[in-house]
Amino acid sequence: MELNREKIGYIEGIGSIFFNLVLFFFKYWAGIVSGSIALIADAWHTLSDSISSIVVIAGIKISVRKPTKKHPFGFGRVEQIAALFVAFILGIVAYEILRESIERYMSNQTTNYGNIAIVVTIISIVVKELMAQFSFWAFRKTNYVTLRADAWHHRSDALSSVVVLVGIFLRPYFWWIDSVLGILISFMLFYTVYDIARDAIERLIGLELPQSLIDEVKRIAANHHNGDLLLHHFHIHNYGQHQELTFHMKIQDCTTVYNAHEIATNIEKQIMKELNVESTIHIEPLNKSKPNCN
């Protein structure tokens, strides 16, 4: 049985919480044993993934609620708000890692890694990349923007673990490697914050219609009316998975109100059927001058 969008989102969120908590325990333990700020920072990064996954589940739960009288366009934009919250959490983690790494470098603190740190770090890289791949797959299946944010959160955690692993092997040659790697991880996280926040904000503000969607709408209109139709002035409003499309349509000057309404209604219904987009068409005369319809 094929899973629906909501179930896929819940599976991704619950799975992320479970595996992140397990990884956090082992990475934090390995960091304490080895005294590695980079490994401890990596552990907190993993724990922040669990928090973001909770936000993902909450965002999906709210966003799929049906429209109400007070909120007639639904709650889809909660997805973007949830993604911003994920970015905010990740930003706090990045700042704390940067601050502590600089303090350790300034105080000349070093780290003695052990085999347990190597094993835990390698396991973390493999598991987190698998989680990222699953989250990207879930995003492609559902188009939930929060799942994309969660996927990049997993990917950044895997990359930060790669950096830690490199530091483990370079430790005999550079006493400061752990602190510097902690700083690098923080900058990686800051970039992830920027990428997630930028995407969410752009969606909230509103994006230009893709030309492919305009072409599809024009094709549908042409297939449902043989006369001259001039479509222009396209605008789209995104509410998560619900989209409201408005555009103007110029029609022959002497077309009756009834016939114009029929043409517009048929095109709107077909757009919903083929593209799953709610559309509203504003009718205009083909020519600006007053027509002689006698």
Give the tens place of pLDDT for each residue, 12-27: 888 888 888 888 888 8
pLDDT at 252 over 60: yes
**Cα–Cα distance measured from residue 8 to residue 147, given in angstroms and rounded to the nearest whole number:** 10
pLDDT at 2 over 50: no
Phi and psi at residue 246, to the nearest 5°:
-125, 145
pLDDT at 227 over 70: no
Domains of the chain listed by start with CATH number: 5-205 (1.20.1510.10), 211-285 (3.30.70.1350)
**Cα–Cα distance measured from residue 143 to residue 211, given in angstroms and rounded to the nearest whole number:** 19
pLDDT at 223 over 60: yes
pTM for this entry: 0.60
- Are 155 and 133 contacting, i.e. CB atoms less than 8 angstroms apart? no
Q: With pLDDT > 90 as the criterion, what percentage of the chain qualifies?
A: 1
Q: Looking at residue 1, what is its pLDDT?
A: 39
Q: Looking at residue 74, what is its pLDDT?
A: 62
Given 3-state DSSP classes, what are the helix, strand and coil percentages for the chain, each rounded to the nearest 5?
70, 10, 20
Give the pLDDT mean for 225-235.
75
Most confident of 37-41, 60-64, 100-104: 100-104
Lowest mean pLDDT among 37-41, 80-84, 110-114: 110-114
Lowest mean pLDDT among 64-68, 131-135, 215-219: 64-68
The model's pLDDT over 86-136, given as tens digits with 9 standing for 90+, comes to 788 778 878 877 887 788 778 776 666 667 778 888 888 898 899 889 888
Q: How far is CA 177 from CA 102, 111, 118, 190, in A?
A: 12, 9, 15, 20
The model's pLDDT over 143-172, given as tens digits with 9 standing for 90+, comes to 777 777 778 778 877 877 787 787 777 777
3-state secondary structure 163-188: HHHHHHHHCCCCCCHHHHHHHHHHHH
pLDDT at 246 over 70: yes
